[in-house]
């Protein structure tokens, strides 16, 4: 995973976060109102308690019990109301934050479905998982809650400021010094910690990637007794991760105490200045006292905001990682006016195709071939010759560097990807099953398939009996990439899946490599039916399985070195003949 | 939760020291408003500047001390959280490394991954926060209550009368919360699983244009996760308002009770006013404590998920060998009436019997799902067999230390893994292997040429070996298996992506260079195993036949059928 270290501006991150909140702006405003309402009720409480205490006031000789009870009753009612308000507020916040998170996860996932295949070849799954879980959670923890806090605090701050100015504009001057000092300190600290928080998120992503890779490959590591070594490697990664967390915390956790310090400093200054003003008879003791009270109300929220800004650091770096993923270039858009090609005839042409996964490392050189409709083309050759790459190009998982590929004489780049791909059905060597019932896995891609259809193809693939032997037959849920099913059985299921698809072209990339030959024979008829009337591309090592191909392409080092039927290739002293005879050596 | 505190024990001295500093910082900070009121109430009215300057200076000094104290304490707290998490994650990962396959099947890989990452992360946050918030609030709470006690014990009792109710609510709600948060984590596993599946199956999904369907599938798990998160958070949302209402009710009761006591002459109005002020402090402290409770509920959920892993017994792992000498004249490998079945599923092996002498080659062939790979899993002790015995050199494999047992093997599994590292490291795989051994293994595995043409042993290998073709990956894996000069070499269908020529050369190399290595080769192609001394034909977990190629061609109709289908008349040689 190569994360570009190029920084995203904080304001840019914020601007992109806002829409998520603004989507719920009505609820958001409601939240702020509730917060303010709750605060006001909280203030009303002391007012009534004051009245209640007045009712006890002894200089009336006797305690006014009815008054005490009345005010105490009102207090209780107010507090109840306040509690209800604050409960509603929390519920509302949960609604907002959950909606925001859900939306973000959905956006990230949608993005993942749009990304080209290459993205998944280059990025560790664990890191992707870390973005959709940890990073989004981190954003959420601070974002929604803190935003409301900040907005609600602003009201209090302004109110307190007004009162302070009313009491003594001179004393407010103290804050003209200390508030900018707080702002300056917060800015300095956050500026300093930002790269640290960025690193912290990145490290956690790396750790996830590592854990994913190691736990998935555990069987192998065990075979070579590498448990201890892996733990050691993990420790290194782990140490870096917790250290990155610590570094961020180390500086990040200074924000709170620092701002607090500035507040205390301003209190001291107020008392100095207050004393001076008192000596000049410019202020009364009572006024100094209430000024201090208000200044507490004033600096409290500022303190809070500073803390929140500190917390937001981690949210920002998490958000940056999420947005970076959202900014990944998706599969290029279908060309303007791209045509839908449904039910293609199945004529495929490649003309002077050049391609490499990385710039400068060409794998396919100048490949040309013509495949007529309904033909069976076998692609053979030594390993690493680029056979699977041809599949990647036909299906447009990767785009060619130069040359042209056409389907029914239309450039595949002028077709919608969707329609192009739906014309193919494909069975790959790397079987893919997901957690779901056997039935769902086989019917994947063919929504209209009935239970009978599914059973029919499974019978044809000689896997019906096996499926029935499973605890719940076709409803058995396959777990964890079908861990306890043999690879051959998985392949048979994916072949059954392909049989349900009404495509006119077929790609079999080592489709039966893990199926034993006897089963392969049993399903031959079904395979023939599957291949009937379809243009087929078959990649296989078992050369016996492709003897009846219309055209055999022998690929070596990214070029077609020989082509012809089995018989014609076997007549001369060809590379194919060597390959073919080698299997009986 | 409590049991994980064991991991905190080593940090108690550091935590106590941090705690003391934090207490000091808090007290100093509390002195500031006290000094302030002293200045305003007593010093300023005197009309002299000097005492104001002195006490004001003291105030600034206190601010400085509080600033320093809090920063130091915070940093120490972060350090403890770091070390705690590092240790916990280490133990957890280590434990997972030694879990049996059976337990891994049960816990599932994606869930294990998220336990190592997100659950430990929750604990990291908790430990940090606990130390930072956990000091000030209790001091305020206890201090506040003590002061009210000195003012008027009876009124104090009235004020705290609701505390038991508050405690009960907090307890029950957060216990329920812990359960709900555990469900959240489990739902999160499901969500992550779908993302994982999509990353793995991107080609199939794109080929079938099922992105829309996958988005729907994701929406389902995402909705479920969101629902669970909401339920959990809504439940926790109850504590705060309930607490603040009940405590405020207490203060209203104080006023009423106070009124009666004033009437009776047992207390003064001033005391009630002081009560009101102290009460605010107590309430704020409790609110802060409550925030920690929410955190604790999450932490408790994550803890139990982590403990579930830590508590899983390591069934197979043993450290001490149970035998002192090797019996002589025992066959190298013997399967004696071996029967096995997976937790879910039918019998995988039934009454399997065979023996292999040192240096012999065993070929295993049979239908898909016949139990071929299970033989490997049993002999390498990934799973313990139910009945019968497997012996190596006459000793039951359960009597070897697992590490010693596995050291005998070089293996390539059916869908084996390459790691994101260099070619060299992928072949070495952490073992002590010399450069000569490395080169030799690569040559014999037919991997040397392509490794050299792609940039040598230091060429990086991408995730899952994505930058190599299927055949190249298999040859690197075979090189890995050969590099340790194993006693027993196992190739589980691991030449399926090799063309015949390469496969033939590989077999030749094995024959020449590894004469004393016992080889077990699972294959689909008869040509890969026909030269083996012994061939085991498997059918639904049974040994359908056992013998040489020639014998089997004569006696085993099943084998003959496979042979003839693959090689025509040439099979009979």
* DSSP code string of A437-454: EHHHHHTTT-TT--HHHH
Q: How far apart are CA A200 and CA A244, in angstroms?
A: 5
**B196 close to A (CB below 8 A):** yes
CB–CB of B32/A267 below 8 Å?
yes
Give Cα B65 distance to the centre of its chain.
Answer: 42
Place of tokens 């070579």: A224
- Three-state secondary structure string covering B200-269: HCHHHHHHCCCHHHHHHHHHHHHHHHHHHHHHHHHHHCCHHHHHHHHHHHHHHHHHHHHHHHHHHCCCCH
Query: Which SS3 state, helix, strand or coil, does residue A254 take?
Result: coil
CB–CB of A65/B259 below 8 Å?
yes
Please name the residues in contact with B78: beta carbons below 8 A apart, sequence gap of 6 or more.
Answer: A245, A246, A249, A250, A253, B128
B10 band by pLDDT with thresholds 50, 70 and 90: confident
What per-residue confidence (pLDDT) applies to A549?
84
Is the complex ipTM higher than 0.95?
no
**B416 close to A (CB below 8 A):** yes
What per-residue confidence (pLDDT) applies to B318?
56
What per-residue confidence (pLDDT) applies to B487?
92
**A134 close to B (CB below 8 A):** yes
Tell me the backbone φ, ψ of residue B431, rounded to 5 degrees.
-85, 165
Nearest to A72 among B230, B252, B345 (CB): B252
- Comparing CA positions, the residue from B304, A409, A470 lying closest to residue A493 is A470
In the predicted structure, residue B92 carries a pLDDT above the cut 90? yes
| Ordered alpha helix ranges (H), A115-254 | 117-122, 125-130, 136-167, 169-216, 218-223, 227-252
- Comparing CA positions, the residue from B543, B545, B570, B548 lying closest to residue B557 is B545
What per-residue confidence (pLDDT) applies to B480?
92
Looking at beta carbons, which residues of chain B come within 8 Å of A500? none
Least confident of A7-21, B234-248, B250-264: A7-21
Looking at beta carbons, which residues of chain A come within 8 Å of B498? 383, 541
* DSSP code string of B335-380: EEEEEEE-SSSSEEEEEEEEEE-TT-EEEEEE-TTSSHHHHHHHHT
Looking at beta carbons, which residues of chain A come within 8 Å of B493? 487, 514
Q: How far apart are CA A398 and CA A122, in angstroms?
A: 13
What per-residue confidence (pLDDT) applies to A583?
62
Query: Which SS3 state, helix, strand or coil, does residue A361 take?
Result: strand
Helix, strand, coil shares of chain A, percent, nearest 5, are 65, 10, 25
**B510 close to A (CB below 8 A):** no
Report chain B's mean pLDDT, rounded to a whole number.
85
Q: Searching chain B, which residue's CA lies closest to the CA of residue A421?
A: B207
Query: Which SS3 state, helix, strand or coil, does residue A430 take?
Result: coil
Place of tokens 């909280």: A42
What per-residue confidence (pLDDT) applies to A1?
36
Place of tokens 């290595």: B517
Q: Note the maximum CA span of chain B.
A: 121
* Neighbour tally for A358: CB within 10 Å: 8
Protein fold of B137-315 = ABC transporter transmembrane region fold (1.20.1560)
Element containing residue B62 per DSSP (H, E): helix B49-98
Element containing residue A78 per DSSP (H, E): helix A65-114
Q: What are B522's strand-pairing partners?
A: B364, B492
**A424 close to B (CB below 8 A):** yes
B568 band by pLDDT with thresholds 50, 70 and 90: low
CB–CB of A148/A93 below 8 Å?
yes
Query: Which SS3 state, helix, strand or coil, does residue B411 take?
Result: strand
- Taking one residue from A and the other from B, the number of pairs with CB-CB distance under 8 angstroms is 500
Q: How far apart are CA A111 and CA A124, in angstroms?
A: 16
What per-residue confidence (pLDDT) applies to B123?
92
Cβ of A56 within 8 Å of Cβ of B565? The answer is: no
What per-residue confidence (pLDDT) applies to A4?
44
- Cα dihedral A497, A502, A505, A506, rounded to 10, equals 10
Looking at beta carbons, which residues of chain B come within 8 Å of A76? 248-249, 252
CB–CB of B118/B188 below 8 Å?
yes
Cβ of A265 within 8 Å of Cβ of B60? The answer is: yes
Protein fold of A348-582 = Rossmann fold (3.40.50)
DSSP assignment letter at A135: I
Cβ of A489 within 8 Å of Cβ of B40? The answer is: no
For A448, counting Cβ atoms within 10 Å of its Cβ (0-12 exposed, 13-18 middle, 19+ buried), the class is exposed
In the predicted structure, residue B89 carries a pLDDT above the cut 90? yes
B562 CA to chain A: closest CA distance, Å?
6
Read off the pLDDT of each residue in B86-96 and give the average, rounded to a whole number. Answer: 92
Q: How far apart are CA B131 and CA B152, in angstroms?
A: 33
A520 CA to chain B: closest CA distance, Å?
9
Read off the pLDDT of each residue in B309-322 and give the average, rounded to a whole number. Answer: 69
∠ CA B64-B67-B69, nearest 5°, is 105
* Neighbour tally for B1: CB within 10 Å: 17
CB–CB of B423/B458 below 8 Å?
yes
Q: How far apart are CA A114 and CA A93, in angstroms?
A: 31
Element containing residue A402 per DSSP (H, E): strand A402-407
B/e letters for B312-343, b = 16+ CB within 10 Å, e = fewer, are beeebebeeeeeeeeeeeebbbbbeebbbbbe
Q: Find residues 476-505 of chain A whose CB sits inside 8 Å of chain B.
A: 479-481, 483-489, 491-492, 494, 501
A396 CA to chain B: closest CA distance, Å?
9
Place of tokens 């490649």: A350
∠ CA B111-B116-B122, nearest 5°, is 105
A256 CA to chain B: closest CA distance, Å?
9
CATH-assigned architecture of domain B333-571: 3-Layer(aba) Sandwich (3.40)
Nearest to B501 among A86, A219, A579 (CB): A579
Tell me the backbone φ, ψ of residue B518, rounded to 5 degrees.
-80, 130
In the predicted structure, residue B316 carries a pLDDT above the cut 60? no
Q: What is the CATH number of domain A10-327?
A: 1.20.1560.10
**B32 close to A (CB below 8 A):** yes
Tokens standing for A297?
């109300």
What per-residue confidence (pLDDT) applies to B61?
92
Q: Searching chain B, which residue's CA lies closest to the CA of residue A80?
A: B245
B45 CA to chain A: closest CA distance, Å?
7
In the predicted structure, residue B516 carries a pLDDT above the cut 80? yes
pLDDT in tens, chain A (585 residues): 334 445 677 778 888 888 888 888 888 888 888 888 877 776 677 778 778 877 876 566 677 888 888 888 998 898 899 889 889 988 988 898 899 899 999 999 999 988 888 888 788 888 888 889 888 988 887 776 677 677 767 777 787 788 788 888 888 888 888 888 888 888 888 888 888 988 988 898 889 888 888 888 887 787 777 888 888 889 999 999 999 999 998 988 888 888 888 888 888 888 888 888 888 888 887 777 778 777 777 777 777 777 777 777 888 888 888 998 998 888 877 777 888 888 888 889 989 888 888 777 777 888 888 888 888 888 887 766 677 788 888 888 888 889 999 998 888 888 888 888 888 888 887 778 888 888 988 988 887 888 999 999 998 888 898 888 888 888 888 875 555 677 778 888 888 988 888 888 998 887 777 777 777 777 777 788 788 888 989 887 666 667 778 888 888 777 778 888 888 888 888 888 877 776 654
A12 CA to chain B: closest CA distance, Å?
27
Cβ of B345 within 8 Å of Cβ of A91? The answer is: no
Tokens standing for B419?
């790691």
Q: Searching chain B, which residue's CA lies closest to the CA of residue A99?
A: B226
Q: Find residues 514-533 of chain A whose CB sits inside 8 Å of chain B.
A: 514-519, 521
Residue-range domain boundaries for chain A: 10-327, 348-582
B132-176: pLDDT as tens digits: 878 878 887 888 888 888 888 888 888 888 889 988 998 899 889
- Comparing CA positions, the residue from A130, A136, A297, A291 lying closest to residue A203 is A130
Q: How far apart are CA B257 and CA A349, in angstroms?
A: 95
Cβ of A384 within 8 Å of Cβ of B469? The answer is: yes
Q: How far apart are CA A542 and CA B500, in angstroms?
A: 8
Cβ of A224 within 8 Å of Cβ of B431? The answer is: yes
Q: Searching chain B, which residue's CA lies closest to the CA of residue A578?
A: B501
Q: How far apart are CA B233 and CA B227, in angstroms?
A: 10
Read off the pLDDT of each residue in B214-225 and give the average, rounded to a whole number. Answer: 92
What per-residue confidence (pLDDT) applies to A584?
57
Looking at beta carbons, which residues of chain A come within 8 Å of B96? 215, 218
Looking at beta carbons, which residues of chain B come within 8 Å of A91? 234, 237
Looking at beta carbons, which residues of chain B come within 8 Å of A238? 86, 89-90, 93
* DSSP code string of A514-574: TS-HHHHHHTHHHHHHHHTTSEEEEE-S-GGGGTT-SEEEEEETTEEEEEE-HHHHHHTT-
B480 CA to chain A: closest CA distance, Å?
9
Q: Searching chain A, which residue's CA lies closest to the CA of residue B202?
A: A117
Tell me how long chain A is: 585
B521 band by pLDDT with thresholds 50, 70 and 90: very high
Query: Which SS3 state, helix, strand or coil, does residue A486 take?
Result: coil
């Amino acid at each position: 995973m190569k994360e570009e270290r190029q920084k995203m501006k904080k304001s840019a991150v914020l601007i992109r976060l806002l829409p998520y909140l603004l989507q719920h702006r009505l609820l958001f405003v409601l939240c702020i109102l509730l917060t303010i309402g709750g605060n006001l009720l909280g203030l009303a409480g002391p007012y009534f308690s004051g009245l209640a205490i007045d009712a006890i006031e002894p200089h009336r000789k006797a305690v006014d019990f009815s008054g005490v009870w009345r005010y105490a009753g009102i207090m209780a009612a107010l507090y109840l109301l306040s509690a209800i308000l604050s409960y509603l507020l929390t519920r509302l916040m949960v609604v907002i934050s959950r909606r925001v998170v859900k939306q973000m996860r959905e956006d990230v996932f949608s993005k993942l479905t749009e990304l080209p295949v290459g993205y998944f070849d280059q990025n560790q799954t664990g890191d992707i998982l870390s973005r959709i879980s940890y990073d989004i959670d981190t954003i959420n923890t601070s974002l929604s809650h803190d935003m409301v806090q900040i907005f609600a605090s602003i009201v209090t701050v302004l109110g307190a400021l007004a009162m302070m100015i009313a009491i003594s504009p001179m004393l407010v001057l103290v804050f003209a010094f200390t508030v900018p000092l707080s702002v300056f300190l917060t800015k300095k600290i956050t500026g300093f910690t930002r790269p640290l928080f960025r690193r912290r998120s990145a490290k956690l992503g790396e750790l996830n990637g590592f854990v994913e890779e190691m736990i998935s490959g555990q069987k192998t590591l065990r075979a070579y007794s590498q448990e201890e070594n892996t733990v050691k490697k993990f420790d290194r990664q782990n140490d870096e991760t917790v250290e990155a967390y610590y570094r961020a915390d180390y500086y990040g956790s200074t924000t709170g105490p620092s701002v607090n310090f500035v507040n205390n400093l301003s209190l001291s200054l107020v008392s100095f200045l207050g004393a001076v003003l008192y000596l000049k008879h410019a202020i009364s003791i009572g006024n100094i006292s209430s000024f201090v009270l208000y200044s507490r109300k004033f600096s409290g929220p500022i303190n809070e905001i500073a803390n929140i800004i500190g917390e937001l650091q981690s949210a920002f770096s998490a958000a940056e990682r999420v947005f970076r993923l959202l900014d990944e270039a998706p599969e290029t858009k279908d060309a303007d006016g791209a045509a839908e090609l449904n039910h293609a005839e199945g004529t495929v042409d490649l003309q002077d195709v050049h391609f490499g996964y990385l710039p400068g490392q060409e794998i396919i050189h100048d490949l040309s071939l013509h495949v007529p409709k309904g033909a069976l083309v076998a692609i053979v050759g030594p390993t690493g010759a680029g056979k699977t790459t041809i599949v990647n190009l036909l299906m447009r998982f990767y785009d060619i560097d130069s040359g042209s590929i056409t389907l029914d004489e239309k450039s595949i780049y002028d077709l919608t990807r969707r329609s192009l791909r739906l014309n193919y059905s494909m069975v790959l060597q790397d079987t893919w099953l997901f957690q779901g019932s056997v039935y769902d896995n086989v019917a994947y891609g063919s929504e209209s398939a009935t239970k009978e259809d599914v059973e029919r193809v499974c019978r044809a693939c000689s896997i019906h009996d096996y499926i029935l032997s499973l605890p719940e037959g076709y409803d058995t849920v396959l777990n964890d990439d079908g861990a306890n099913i043999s690879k051959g059985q998985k392949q048979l299921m994916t072949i059954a899946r392909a049989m349900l698809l009404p495509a006119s072209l077929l790609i079999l990339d080592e489709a039966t490599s893990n199926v034993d030959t006897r089963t392969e024979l049993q399903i031959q008829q079904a395979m023939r039916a599957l291949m009937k009337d379809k243009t087929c591309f078959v990649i296989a090592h078992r050369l016996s399985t492709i003897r009846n191909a219309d055209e055999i392409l022998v690929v070596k080092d990214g070029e077609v070195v020989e082509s012809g039927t089995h018989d014609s290739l076997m007549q001369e002293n060809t590379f194919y003949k060597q390959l073919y005879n080698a299997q009986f050596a | 939760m409590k049991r994980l505190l064991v991991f905190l024990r080593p940090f108690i001295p550091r935590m106590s020291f941090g705690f003391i500093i934090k207490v000091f910082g808090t007290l100093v900070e509390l002195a500031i408003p006290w000094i302030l009121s002293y200045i305003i109430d007593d010093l300023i009215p005197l009309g002299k500047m000097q005492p104001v300057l002195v006490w004001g200076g003291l105030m600034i000094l206190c601010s400085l001390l509080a600033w320093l104290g809090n920063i130091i304490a915070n940093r120490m707290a972060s350090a403890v959280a770091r070390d705690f998490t590092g240790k916990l994650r280490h133990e957890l990962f280590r434990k997972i490394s030694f879990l049996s396959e059976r337990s891994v099947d049960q816990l599932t890989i994606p869930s294990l991954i998220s336990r190592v990452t997100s659950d430990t992360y929750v604990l990291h946050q908790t430990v940090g926060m606990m130390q930072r918030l956990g000091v000030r609030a209790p001091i305020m709470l206890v201090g506040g209550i003590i002061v009210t006690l000195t003012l008027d014990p009876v009124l104090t009792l009235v004020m705290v009368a609701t505390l038991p109710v508050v405690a009960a609510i907090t307890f029950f709600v957060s216990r329920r919360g812990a359960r709900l948060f555990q469900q959240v984590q489990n739902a999160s596993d499901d969500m992550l699983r779908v993302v994982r599946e999509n990353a793995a199956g991107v080609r199939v999904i794109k080929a079938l244009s099922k992105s829309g369907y996958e988005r729907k599938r994701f929406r389902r798990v995402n909705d479920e996760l969101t629902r669970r998160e909401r339920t959990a958070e809504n439940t926790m949302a109850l504590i705060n308002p309930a607490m603040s209402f009940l405590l405020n009710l207490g203060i209203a009761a104080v006023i009423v009770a106070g009124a009666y006591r004033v009437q009776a002459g047992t207390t003064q109005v001033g005391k009630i006013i002081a009560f009101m002020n102290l009460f605010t402090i107590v309430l704020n402290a409790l609110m802060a404590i409550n925030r920690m409770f929410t955190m604790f509920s999450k932490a408790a959920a994550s803890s139990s998920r982590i403990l579930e892993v830590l508590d899983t017994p390591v069934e197979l792992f043993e450290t001490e060998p149970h035998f002192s000498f090797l019996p002589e004249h025992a066959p190298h490998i013997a399967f004696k009436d071996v029967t096995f079945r997976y937790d879910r599923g039918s019998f995988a092996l039934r009454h399997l019997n065979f023996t292999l002498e040192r240096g012999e080659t065993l070929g295993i062939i049979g239908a898909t799902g016949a139990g071929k790979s299970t033989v490997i899993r049993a002999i390498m002790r990934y799973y313990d067999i139910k009945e019968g015995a497997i012996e190596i050199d006459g000793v039951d494999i359960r009597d070897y230390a697992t590490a010693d047992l596995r050291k005998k093997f070089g293996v390539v599994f059916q869908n084996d893994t390459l790691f994101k590292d260099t070619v060299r490291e992928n072949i070495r795989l952490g073992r002590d292997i010399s450069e000569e051994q490395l080169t030799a293994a690569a040559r014999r595995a037919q991997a040397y040429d392509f490794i050299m043409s792609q940039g040598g042993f230091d060429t990086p290998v991408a995730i899952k070996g994505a930058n190599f073709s299927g055949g190249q990956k298999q040859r690197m894996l075979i090189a890995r298996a050969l590099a340790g000069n194993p006693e027993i070499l196992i190739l589980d269908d691991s030449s399926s992506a090799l063309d015949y020529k390469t496969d033939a050369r590989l077999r030749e190399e094995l024959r020449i260079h590894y004469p004393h290595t016992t080889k077990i080769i699972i294959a689909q192609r008869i040509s890969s195993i026909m030269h083996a001394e012994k061939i085991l034909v498997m059918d639904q977990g049974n040994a359908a036949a056992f013998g040489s190629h020639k014998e089997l061609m004569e006696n085993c109709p099943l084998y003959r059928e496979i042979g003839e289908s693959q090689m025509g008349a040439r099979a009979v040689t």
